[in-house]
C-alpha cells in the first residue's frame, strides 16, 4: 500500500490510465536485479528508482574511474575509487527513500549467478562483456526469469527482452560468443548513447512489471545515433541451440593478503611478478612496485609477463585485480593471485 508521500511522488504517472494505482502497486511489489552499474546501469537505475520499483539489487564489482564520468552520470569526481554498487545505492536512496536497495559488490559469476537471480522477479543485463551476457541469459532461462537486455558500442545500441513467457533467449539471437570481445574501453562510446539505451531498458522494465503496452519480447531494437536510424527486428528461435542449464560453480580465484605478499617478496623475489592493473595516473600517484599494465590493456600485454612466475595483480580496492586474475587464468600457465583489499 502506498503511503501519502508516495502517492504525491508518483501522482503524474499514476494519472496514466494504462498504469494507474494498480500499476504503481505492481511497481512497488516488484523485485528487479540489475547486472552492472556502468553506462547503461546508471540511467536505468535512476529511472527505476524514481518510478518506485520496490526492491532493486545491483551487482557490480568495479570501482568508479575518471574515464567513466563522461557517460556514467550517477557518479561524480568525488566518487572515484569507490565501489560502484555501493555508491549507486547511496545515491538512489537519496532520490527515493521508499525503496529497498541491495548492493552486491562482487563479480556476477557462476558461483553466485543462480543464488542471486533466484531472489528477483526480473533481471536487467547492463553488463559490458560477452561472458557475463551469456551467463546472465543461461541463468535466466534455467530459472524462468524474464531478461531485459541492452548493449552499446561507439554510436550504436541494442535493446531486447528475452525469455518472457517462453519467448526466445539471447542464444537464439547469438548462439555462441564471438571470437573477439570488444568493449567500450576498446572501441569507444559516445556518452549520450548509454543514456538513451538505458532509458529504453528502463521503459521496457516498467511496461513488463505493469503488464502494459507492447514490449520488445522476442524482438531486437537497433539504434544508430550517428545516422539517426532505428530498426526493430523479430528474433526467430534457433532450433539447433542447446537448452541452457544452470552454470557449474567455478573454482574460487586465488587471493593473498599484504603480509603474505611482503613475505614472498622478501624470501623469493625472483619468483614473483607484481602487476599494478590501475590506470597510469594512479600508479604514478602511489604504488607498491611491480609493472604497470592497465586492466584494459592486460589482454593484449600477456606476452610481457615472464613464464613460470607467481603473478600477483593489485589495484586500489581489490576489485579490478580480481577481474585481472580471471582474465589471465585461461591464458597464463603459472599461478595468478589478486591482492586482497588492494592498496
Helix (H) or strand (E) holding 318: none
DSSP annotation of 217 reads B
**Catalytic site residue from 89, 117, 140, 315:** 315
Q: What is the mean pLDDT of residues 5-11?
A: 95
Q: Where are the domains of the chain?
A: 4-234, 255-339
Please give the grid coordinates belonging to residue 93: 536512496
* Band of residue 329 on the pLDDT scale cut at 50, 70, 90: confident
The 10 Å Cβ neighbour count of residue 116 is: 18
In the chain, % of residues over pLDDT 90: 71
pLDDT at 7 over 60: yes
- The three cell numbers locating residue 91: 545515491
Identify whether the C-beta of residue 13 lies closer than 8 Å to the C-beta of residue 210.
Answer: no
SS3 160: strand
CA distances from 339 to 84, 200, 302, 313 (A): 19, 39, 19, 6
Confidence of residue 182 (pLDDT cuts 50, 70, 90): low
Q: Using the predicted structure, report yes or no on whether residue 247 has a pLDDT greater than 60.
A: no
Q: What's the burial of 291, exposed, middle or buried (CB within 10 Å: 0-12/13-18/19+)?
A: middle
CATH top-level class of 4-234: alpha beta
Q: Is 184 a catalytic residue?
A: yes
Here the cell at position 127 is: 553488463
Contacts of 321 (CB under 8 A, 6+ apart): 277, 313, 314, 315, 338, 339, 342
pLDDT of res. 250: 44
Beta carbons within 10 angstroms of residue 109's beta carbon = 18
The phi, psi pair for 224, rounded to 5°, reads -115, 110
Kindly give the residue spans of alpha helices, DSSP state H, lying in the chain.
Answer: 4-9, 11-14, 20-29, 41-51, 84-95, 113-117, 130-143, 170-173, 184-187, 192-210, 258-267, 280-285, 319-328
The pLDDT value recorded for residue 320 is 79
* Residue 150 pLDDT class (50, 70, 90 cuts): very high
* Cell output for 271: 619468483
- 229-240 residue pLDDT tens: 899 998 888 666
Verify whether residue 315 is a known catalytic residue: yes
Residues shown for the chain: 343
Confidence of residue 249 (pLDDT cuts 50, 70, 90): very low
Q: What distance in Å separates the CA atoms of residue 109 and residue 206, rounded to the nearest whole number?
A: 26
pLDDT value at 79 more than 80: yes
* CATH fold of 255-339: Oxidized Rhodanese; domain 1 (3.40.250)
Residue of 151, 235, 129 lying closest to 200 (CA atoms): 151
**62, 68, 73, 77 alpha-carbon torsion, rounded to 10°:** 90
Taking 50 as the threshold, does the pLDDT of residue 135 lie above it?
yes
pLDDT at 183: 63
* Active-site entry in 117, 184, 210, 313: 184
Q: Which of 75, 79, 41 is nearest to 60 (CA)?
A: 41
**pLDDT surpassing 50 at residue 269:** yes
Q: Is 110 in contact with 249 (CB distance < 8 Å)? A: yes
pLDDT at 32: 98
Take residue 133 and report the three cell numbers written for it.
551476457
pLDDT score of 94: 96
pLDDT at 343: 87
Residue 138 phi/psi, 5° resolution? -65, -35
Report the alpha-carbon distance of residue 193 to residue 198 in Å, rounded.
Answer: 8
- Per residue in 255-265, pLDDT tens? 999 999 999 99
Report the alpha-carbon distance of residue 60 to residue 112 in Å, rounded: 12
pLDDT average, residue stretch 167-171: 92
Give the mean model confidence (pLDDT) for residues 126-148: 94
Amino acid at each position: 500500500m502506498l503511503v501519502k508521500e508516495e502517492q504525491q511522488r508518483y501522482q503524474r504517472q499514476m494519472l496514466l490510465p494504462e498504469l494507474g494505482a494498480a500499476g504503481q502497486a505492481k511497481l512497488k511489489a516488484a523485485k528487479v536485479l540489475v547486472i552492472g552499474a556502468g553506462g547503461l546501469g546508471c540511467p536505468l537505475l535512476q529511472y527505476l528508482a524514481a518510478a518506485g520499483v520496490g526492491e532493486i539489487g545491483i551487482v557490480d564489482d568495479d570501482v568508479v574511474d575518471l574515464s567513466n564520468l563522461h557517460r556514467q552520470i550517477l557518479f561524480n569526481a568525488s566518487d572515484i575509487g569507490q565501489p560502484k554498487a555501493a555508491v549507486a545505492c547511496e545515491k538512489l536512496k537519496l532520490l527515493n527513500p521508499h525503496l529497498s536497495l541491495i548492493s552486491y559488490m562482487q563479480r556476477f559469476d557462476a558461483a553466485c549467478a543462480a543464488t542471486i537471480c533466484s531472489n528477483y522477479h526480473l533481471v536487467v543485463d547492463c553488463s559490458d562483456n560477452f561472458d557475463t551476457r551469456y551467463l546472465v541469459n543461461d541463468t535466466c532461462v534455467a530459472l524462468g526469469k524474464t531478461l531485459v537486455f541492452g548493449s552499446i558500442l561507439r554510436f550504436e545500441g541494442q535493446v531486447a527482452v528475452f525469455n518472457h513467457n517462453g519467448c526466445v533467449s539471447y542464444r537464439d539471437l547469438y548462439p555462441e560468443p564471438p571470437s573477439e570481445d570488444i568493449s567500450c574501453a576498446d572501441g569507444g562510446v559516445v556518452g549520450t548513447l548509454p543514456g538513451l539505451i538505458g532509458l529504453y531498458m528502463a521503459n521496457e522494465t516498467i511496461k513488463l512489471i505493469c503488464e502494459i503496452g507492447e514490449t520488445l519480447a522476442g524482438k531486437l531494437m537497433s539504434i544508430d545515433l550517428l545516422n539517426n536510424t532505428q530498426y526493430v527486428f523479430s528474433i526467430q528461435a534457433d532450433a539447433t541451440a542447446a537448452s541452457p542449464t544452470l552454470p557449474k560453480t567455478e573454482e574460487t580465484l586465488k587471493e593473498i593478503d599484504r603480509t603474505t605478499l611482503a613475505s614472498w617478496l622478501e624470501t623469493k623475489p625472483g619468483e614473483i611478478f607484481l602487476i599494478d592493473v590501475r590506470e597510469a595516473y594512479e600508479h604514478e600517484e602511489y604504488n607498491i612496485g611491480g609493472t604497470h599494465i592497465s586492466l584494459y590493456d592486460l589482454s593484449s600485454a600477456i606476452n610481457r609477463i615472464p613464464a613460470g612466475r607467481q603473478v600477483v595483480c593489485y589495484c586500489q580496492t581489490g576489485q579490478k585485480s580480481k577481474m585481472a586474475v580471471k582474465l589471465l587464468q585461461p591464458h597464463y600457465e603459472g599461478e595468478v593471485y589478486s591482492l586482497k583489499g588492494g592498496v
